[in-house]
Amino acid sequence: MYELGHQKTENEHIYDLCDLPVEHKRKDEPTKVGRNNILVIERMKICLAAVIVSFVLFCIALSVLIVVIKTRNEAKIKQQMTARFNTMENLINKSFVEKEAKIKQQMTARFNTMENLINKSFVEKARSKECADIDFIQDGIFLVYPNGENNPKHVYCVMQDNKKWTVIQRRFDFSVNFTKTWNEYKEGFGVASGEHWLGNEYIHVISTNGRHRARFILEKNWQRKVCRIL
């Protein structure tokens, strides 16, 4: 009979003799080179992720920096614009104030001039130079200013035929001697309420102030002649 059995090969005999263990590798187990490649890829992924994170952080930082710079620029521009507007406003206000002050000064000067003219007119009218400038109804003695405020003079004014007359000579009772010197006739003598001569100087002043008329009245009083020159 033949015995059936497994016949050992030469190699198996060698393994048996050497008694060396043999590692049996799986087909799907990676090799050393493959493991190195996987490690490299993983490291590259980690580096890439780190780069991406760094880039994102850089972008965020850049955005923040841009916002900060923009905010600072806006604040600076706003400050500059505010300063310019304030300067313009001050200049405009100064211009308006100066113009207002100038206009006010001009108006004040004009009002003062008008007031002075009005006052002067009233004063001149109040300080009349002759009877024609005085408002009166009844005959009487009035104070006139032939030379302005200097040397006022009392004159006798009469109203006849709705006209005002300044009496330059009045004589009715011969109480005053009319035989006088040239200087006395120049300055005048007597009193306005009685017999008097008004004075050549005053007659000259009022006669040169426009055109005038002279009126002579001769009367008899108690058998005496009365002379009045108006």
- What is the 3-state secondary structure of the chain? CCCCCCCCCHHHHHHHHHCCCCCCCCCCCCCHHHHHHHHHHHHHHHHHHHHHHHHHHHHHHHHHHHHHHHHHHHHHHHHHHHHHHHHHHHHHHHHHHHHHHHHHHHHHHHHHHHHHHHHHHHHHHHCCCCHHHCCCCCCEEEEECCECCECCEEEEEEEECCEEEEECEEECCCCCCCCCCHHHHHHCEECCCCCEECCHHHHHHHHCCCCCCCCEEEEEECCEEEEEEC
> Model confidence at 14, in pLDDT bands (50, 70, 90)?
very low
What percentage of the chain reaches a pLDDT higher than 70? 75
Per the model's pLDDT, the better-predicted residue between 146 and 124 turns out to be 146
* pLDDT at 13 > cutoff 70: no
DSSP 133: G
Q: What is the mean pLDDT of the chain?
A: 76
* pLDDT at 221 > cutoff 90: no
Whether the Cβ atoms of residue 126 and residue 142 lie closer than 8 Å to each other? no
- Residue 149 has what pLDDT? 65
In the beta sheet, which residues pair with residue 226?
Answer: 219
Q: What does the domain layout of the chain look like in residue ranges?
A: 31-126, 131-229
> Computed from CA positions of residues 129, 131, 135, 136, in that sequence, does the dihedral angle turn out positive or negative?
positive
Chosen CATH of 131-229 out of 3.40.630.30, 3.40.1370.10, 2.60.120.10, 3.90.215.10: 3.90.215.10
- Residue 180 has what pLDDT? 92
* pLDDT at 25 > cutoff 70: no
Distance CA 97, CA 150 (A): 45
Q: Tens digits of per-residue pLDDT, 50-80?
A: 889 888 888 888 888 888 887 877 777 878 8
> Model confidence at 101, in pLDDT bands (50, 70, 90)?
confident
